[in-house]
């Protein structure tokens, strides 16, 4: 009798399923007809971070370029040859928006400063510094960029990752175990393919909000363990490829971001980053020159002076001084004279001003203490660099 009752219910269940599918199709069609039906910039960022598409695809003729979709998401449109020209010393910088140089991209990030410093310090040498920074990408997603960087056979790779591991932690490790991972995968699929789902999600809550959840102690330990394992993989990959790898430090956020609720996890990540790099024997640049609010425009991104000091720290650590000559631009002794120099007083640290400035000056290889100091208190320090290879 129970079996007969179940059989009689089959037609009604099929009819209900058909009605549901038709209603969903109708809702999807209506949603796609509305303006703004496609993914928003934050939604597209999440899909990119969770996906596998290369950030810098290369064509058959060997030209690599930022994916146009990433350019629409405020990433710089960069292009470069897969193979460096003969006699060129190529450096590749891999990282997130702190490498890309936000908000001064495509000029003003530390890779651009480093390129100018090395070209001034190594006259007659061809130096190419590639900036492969991608906004908001976490360490897990940047591994693919790192692999591409090694395939370009550079003279060295400079790595700065970890800033976005905290805000994207629950994207990588959703709460709820297997059910949470399944719901995440379904949500990502619908976010990519369903305008109706996107409309419902936007009505329910802002999508997505980065870094809103404070990590539990177990989650923080998982965050740190992931970073240690990732650094170990990348260091081993670089050594297997015969490519020198330079790991950059992360700042101590407690000095200038006390109100940011993720600060304890980020500070723990900074300490783990330094300890693991040193444990692996990788060249490590701690960036102790970056301290306090005077070098940052928010809790993550440097101002122009911060990016310049980052480049100087890398140059001094990897290619230390070996003799000096007079800097004609400042009148100070014992410094390389750049082709063109503007003092720190003339470098604007305002994001709105710097976006319109193309930063066409040559970066000084002589460190000058920061803006807003009278000329009599500037303290030039010699930074000639020896040949990098």
Write the pLDDT tens digit of every residue in 112-121.
999 999 988 8
**E strand or H helix that includes residue 126:** strand 126-133
CB 189 within 8 A of CB 198: no
Lowest mean pLDDT among 127-136, 213-222, 233-242: 213-222
Amino acid 199: pLDDT: 87
Give the HSE-up count for residue 200: Cα atoms under 13 Å, Cβ half-sphere. Answer: 11
Residue found under tokens 């996906």:
51
Q: Is the pLDDT of residue 111 over 90?
A: yes
Q: What is the chain's mean pLDDT, rounded? A: 78
3-state helix, strand, coil in the chain (%, to 5): 45, 10, 45
Per residue in 337-360, pLDDT (tens digit) is 233 223 332 333 333 333 333 333
Strands in 284-285's sheet, in edge-to-edge order, are: 126-133, 88-95, 156-160, 245-248, 284-285
**What mean pLDDT do residues 323-348 have?**
33
Q: What is the pLDDT of residue 12?
A: 74
The pLDDT value recorded for residue 313 is 92
> d(Cα 106, Cα 74) in Å, to the nearest integer?
10
Give me the pLDDT at residue 267, please. Answer: 83
DSSP secondary structure string, 232-290? HHHHHHHHHHT--EEEEP---GGGT-TT-TTHHHHHHHHHHHHHHHHHTT--EE--TT-
Least confident among 62-66, 97-101, 223-227, 260-264: 260-264
**How do residues 128-151 score in pLDDT, each as one tens digit?**
999 999 999 999 999 999 999 999
267: CB partners within 8 A, 6+ apart: 252, 253, 254
**Is the pLDDT assigned to residue 373 strictly greater than 80?**
no
Instruction: Give the H or E element holding residue 217.
Output: helix 217-241
- In this prediction the pTM is 0.78
């Amino acid at each position: 009798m129970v079996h007969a009752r179940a059989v009689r219910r089959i037609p009604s269940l099929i009819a209900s399923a058909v009605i549901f599918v038709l209603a969903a199709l109708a809702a999807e069609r209506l949603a796609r007809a509305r303006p703004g039906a496609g993914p928003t910039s934050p939604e597209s960022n999440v899909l990119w971070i969770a996906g596998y598409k290369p950030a810098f695809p290369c064509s058959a003729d060997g030209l690599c370029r930022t994916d146009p979709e990433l350019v629409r998401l405020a990433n710089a449109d960069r292009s470069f040859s897969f193979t460096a020209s003969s006699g060129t010393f190529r450096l590749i910088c891999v990282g997130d928006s702190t490498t890309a140089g936000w908000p001064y991209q495509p000029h003003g990030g530390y890779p651009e400063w480093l390129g100018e410093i090395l070209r001034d310090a190594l006259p007659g040498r061809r130096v190419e510094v590639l900036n492969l920074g991608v906004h908001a990408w976490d360490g897990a997603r940047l591994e693919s960029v790192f692999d591409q960087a090694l395939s370009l056979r550079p003279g060295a790779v400079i790595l700065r990752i970890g800033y976005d591991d905290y805000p994207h932690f629950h994207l990588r490790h959703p709460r709820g175990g297997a059910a949470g991972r399944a719901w995440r995968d379904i949500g990502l699929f619908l976010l990519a393919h369903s305008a109706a789902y996107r409309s419902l999600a936007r009505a329910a809550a802002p999508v997505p909000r980065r870094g809103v959840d404070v990590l539990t102690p177990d989650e923080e330990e998982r965050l740190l363990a992931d970073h240690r394992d990732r650094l170990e993989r990348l260091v081993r990959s670089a050594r297997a490829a015969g490519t020198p790898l330079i790991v950059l430090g992360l700042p101590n956020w407690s000095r200038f971001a006390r109100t940011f609720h993720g600060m304890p996890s980020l500070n723990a990540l900074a300490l783990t980053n330094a300890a693991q790099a040193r444990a692996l024997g990788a060249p490590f640049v701690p960036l102790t020159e970056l301290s306090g609010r005077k070098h940052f425009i928010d809790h993550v991104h440097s101002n122009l002076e911060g990016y310049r000091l980052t480049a100087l720290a890398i140059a001094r650590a990897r290619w230390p001084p070996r003799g000096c000559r007079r800097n004609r631009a400042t009148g100070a002794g014992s410094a390389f004279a750049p082709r063109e120099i503007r003092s720190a007083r003339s470098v604007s640290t305002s994001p709105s001003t710097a976006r319109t400035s193309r930063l066409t000056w040559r970066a000084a290889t002589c460190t000058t203490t920061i803006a807003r100091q009278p000329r009599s208190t500037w303290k030039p320090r010699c930074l000639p660099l020896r040949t990098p290879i």
